Structure formats: C-alpha cells, structure tokens
C-alpha cells in the first residue's frame, strides 16, 4: 500500500523543526512525503494536494492563526471535491483542547496537543497518523479513477488539474497490474495533440536542477502569457524503508500559477531513475496539449542516459566539483546531452571546470577547431550559469 503525504507549516510560520521531525518519522514508516517547508498558504497547500493527489495533509501551526487556517483548508478541499483527503496537524500547546475539539468537528481529522506527545510519544503519534491513513484508504479509493476511456482522454485539457492528477495516479497505481496496459498506452498515443515539447533534465544530486528549471519556468511564464507547462519530478525511494522524500517542490517558486501543472514521483521498485510510469505520464500530458513538458530525474544511476530516449531535448546539469578532468570521460551524458549546464558558477574553480568540459566536448565530438581559437568564442551548447538567486535578472 503506497501512502502519499503532504507536509508543511502554516502561513507566517517559520517553526519547521516539528514538521521536519514528523516527515522523517513518516518516511521511515514507508510514506512518500511531499515536503513544502515553512510559511505555506492554504492556496499553495491545496494546489499541491490536488496536483499530487495526496492521501493526507500534515500541517504544523505555531503562529496562532490555526482556527482560520484549518477551517479555510477544510472548506477549500470540500469546494474542490477532495474532502476525502485527511488533515492532520499540531501546534504544541498553542492550539487549545477546546479549539482542537471544534476544528475536528468542523472536518479536521486529528490535531495533536502537547499532552498527546507526552502520552504517546512522537513515534506513537507517527504510528497513529499512519494507522488512520490506512483505515481511510477505502474512502480514497472510492474517489479514484476506475478506468481510462477514449471519452475521458479526448476531453483532457491543460487546465483541469484535478482530472490530470487522478489519471496520473491511475498510471502510477493501477496501470502496472492492469489486464490490458498496452491498449491504454496505445489510446494515450492516439490522442496526442502533437504540440508538446519534452525537455529532460538530469545530473548529480545537489547540482541545482530544480532551481535551474524554476528560473526557466519563470522566464517562460513572463515572456509567453499563453504558455502551458507541466513538470514531472522524480526522487529516489529508500530501499530500506520504501519511503521517499519528494522534496523538489521546495525549490520551485514559479509553479503556483494556473498555467503550470507539477507532479512528483518516487522511483519505487522500478529499478530506474525514469520508471515506466514517467513515460506513460508524459504520454498523458501530451493528450492535454501542454506546450512544454519538463522532466527532472534524481540523477543517481542509469536514468541519466535514459532521459535521452523520452525527451526531444536533454539537458545535463553539473557543477565544477567533478574531480580530475579524466572523470569527465566517465560521464555518459556529456556525450549524449543536447545541452550541458555548469551550474553554481559563482563557486571557486568553475571557470577551470568550464574549460575542461569544453575541451572534453571537442574531443568526444571530434570537432575541428583551428589552433589558437579562444575556447570562449566557440558556439557550443555548453553554458555556465548561477541559479541560486530567485528571479535573477541574468
């Protein structure tokens, strides 16, 4: 049973120690956790809950506005037809027992008080959350998509994020064991609107893929008012627990726009950074007619080169910290990628790294460069950038 949770702290709340603690405890129990960090509005939380089609939301609120926040959260989920999603929360001793009672009667699943922590302990609270979510799974399943039909796929648009999310959940959860998966895949390809450009991003962990993609999204949205963008981001599943931290969203700032759809994936037991469900989800998004489909891999294994097969253009993101120049010869994507980005270029040693990557590129592609030509004057698909500042003007 796969359980997907959203964790965040409430708006104007920077107290993220508690929510970070509990997301780790829940990951250890096998949950896939989409972590948003601190200071998140109800609008952001609900947008993520719908797009990610989560089973439950876990909100930490220590700033005193819990009555308004949780009530509005319940109301927004009901309005969107997602009242089956459970809401958990806590705020130490800030939320009074009388307020907890009133909010739970209003629709919040469970709010934990400091007394609960003393009685159950943090592990006991985590166990209680998981137990309640598992007991609620039949209700979640009752609202899930039962089957793909041609009528459903033909009606897909870029704006109905609720429907897109349900269809991707079907691809993730039910298609692998479906009696006729090939017929569904053929149906998806049949209704491809033929307008989507797929760009794949891969690279080692921590190289800044998410920040780079976010800055690109911001520019596309600013300069193309009618553009529609979908993002698929994959993160590794822990082999020891089955849990996963789907933490890419915390680096994205421009995605809370009706023109952008974002979905996170755990690699689960696919044995690859780019599972079949990512390929199928790309085909689904093509039936919606998104202009751009951006795919981000965790970049931890063979998925680096697999990104090439499912994208129209591939981008390899790296930093200067690759070791000796001979290490470049081991990176398959430097030979395969359409574009190479050396990110975090503000760091010491980046200019030397750029030079070595250019020399390696010339060698592997057997380019005829006249002797004495300055490397920086060559028109190559190798770029240096620094995406560490939000909304950087470039």
**pLDDT value for 268:** 86
Q: 363: number of CA atoms within 13 Å, CB side? A: 11
How buried is residue 92: exposed, middle or buried, by Cβ count under 10 Å (0-12/13-18/19+)? Answer: middle
Asked if domains 4-142 and 152-384 share a fold, the reply is yes
Token pair for residue 18?
A: 């508690």
Kindly give the confidence (pLDDT) of every residue in the chain, 394 residues in length, as a single tens digit, with 9 standing for 90 and above.
Answer: 899 999 999 999 989 999 999 999 999 999 999 999 999 999 999 999 999 999 999 999 999 999 999 999 999 999 999 999 999 999 989 999 999 999 999 999 999 999 999 999 999 999 999 999 999 999 999 999 999 999 999 999 999 999 999 999 999 999 988 989 999 999 999 999 999 999 999 999 889 999 999 999 999 999 999 999 999 999 999 989 999 999 889 989 999 999 999 999 998 876 666 778 999 999 999 999 999 999 998 865 445 678 888 999 999 999 999 999 999 999 989 999 999 999 999 999 999 999 999 999 999 999 999 998 999 899 999 999 997 777 666 5
Q: Are 257 and 288 in contact (CB under 8 A)?
A: no
**How far is Cα 223 from Cα 209, in angstroms, rounded to an integer?**
21
**How far is CA 323 from each of CA 67, 130, 320, 352, 364, rounded to the nearest angstrom?**
53, 43, 8, 12, 19
Q: Are 340 and 318 in contact (CB under 8 A)?
A: yes
Tell me the sheet residues that pair with 382: 340
The CATH superfamily label for domain 152-384 reads P-loop containing nucleotide triphosphate hydrolases (3.40.50.300)
Q: Which distant-in-sequence residues (6+ apart) come within 8 Å of 335 by Cβ?
A: 364, 365
**pLDDT value for 302:** 43
Q: How many residues does the chain have?
A: 394
Compute the Cα dihedral for 237, 238, 241, 243 and give only its sign: negative
10 Å Cβ neighbour count for 215?
23
Q: At what angle do helices 161-173 and 42-52 cross, to 10 degrees?
A: 40
Token pair for residue 263?
A: 């979905």
**How far is Cα 266 from Cα 80, in angstroms, rounded to an integer?**
25
Domain residues of the chain, as ranges? 4-142, 152-384
First to last CA, the chain: 45
**How far is Cα 38 from Cα 20, in angstroms, rounded to an integer?**
10
Task: Please work out, in degrees rounded to the nearest 5, the angle formed at the alpha carbon of residue 55 by the alpha carbons of 191 and 177.
Answer: 50
**How far is Cα 260 from Cα 293, in angstroms, rounded to an integer?**
10
The CATH superfamily label for domain 4-142 reads Cobalamin-binding domain (3.40.50.280)
**pLDDT value for 388:** 73
**How far is CA 391 from each of CA 214, 218, 222, rounded to the nearest angstrom?**
9, 8, 11
């Amino acid at each position: 049973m796969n359980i997907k949770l959203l964790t965040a702290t409430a708006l104007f709340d920077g107290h993220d120690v508690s929510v970070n603690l509990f997301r780790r405890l829940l990951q250890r129990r096998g949950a896939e956790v989409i972590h948003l960090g601190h200071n998140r509005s109800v609008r952001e939380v609900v947008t993520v809950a719908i797009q990610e089609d989560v089973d439950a939301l876990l909100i930490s609120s220590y700033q005193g506005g819990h009555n308004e926040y949780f009530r509005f959260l319940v109301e927004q989920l009901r309005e969107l037809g997602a009242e089956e999603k459970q809401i958990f929360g806590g705020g130490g001793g800030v939320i009074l027992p009388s307020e907890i009672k009133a909010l739970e009667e209003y629709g919040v699943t469970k709010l934990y008080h400091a007394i609960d922590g003393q009685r159950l302990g943090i592990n006991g609270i985590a166990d209680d959350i998981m137990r309640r979510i598992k007991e609620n799974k039949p209700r979640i399943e009752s609202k899930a998509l039962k089957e793909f039909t041609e009528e459903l796929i033909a009606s897909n648009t870029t704006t109905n994020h609720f429907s897109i999310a349900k269809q991707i959940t079907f691809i993730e959860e039910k298609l692998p064991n479906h009696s006729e998966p090939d017929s569904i895949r053929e149906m998806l390809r049949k209704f491809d609107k033929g307008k989507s450009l797929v760009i794949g991003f891969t690279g080692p962990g921590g190289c800044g893929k998410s920040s780079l993609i976010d800055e690109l999204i911001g520019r596309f949205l600013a300069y193309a008012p009618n553009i529609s963008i979908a993002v698929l981001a994959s993160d590794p599943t822990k082999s020891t627990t089955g849990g996963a931290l789907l933490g890419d969203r915390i680096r994205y700032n421009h995605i809370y726009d009706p023109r952008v759809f974002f979905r996170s994936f755990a690699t689960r037991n696919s044995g690859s950074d780019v599972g079949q469900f990512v390929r199928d989800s790309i085909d689904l998004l093509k039936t919606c007619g998104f202009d751009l489909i951006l795919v981000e891999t965790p970049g931890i294994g063979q998925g680096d080169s697999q990104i090439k097969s499912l994208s129209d253009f591939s981008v390899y993101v790296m930093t200067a910290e690759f070791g000796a120049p001979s290490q470049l010869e081991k990176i398959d994507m430097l030979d395969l990628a359409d574009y190479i980005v050396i990110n975090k270029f503000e760091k010491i040693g980046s200019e030397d790294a750029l030079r070595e990557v250019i020399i390696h590129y010339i060698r592997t592609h057997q380019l005829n460069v006249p002797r004495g030509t300055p490397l920086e004057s060559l028109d190559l698909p190798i770029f240096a950038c620094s995406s560490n500042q939000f909304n950087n003007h470039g």
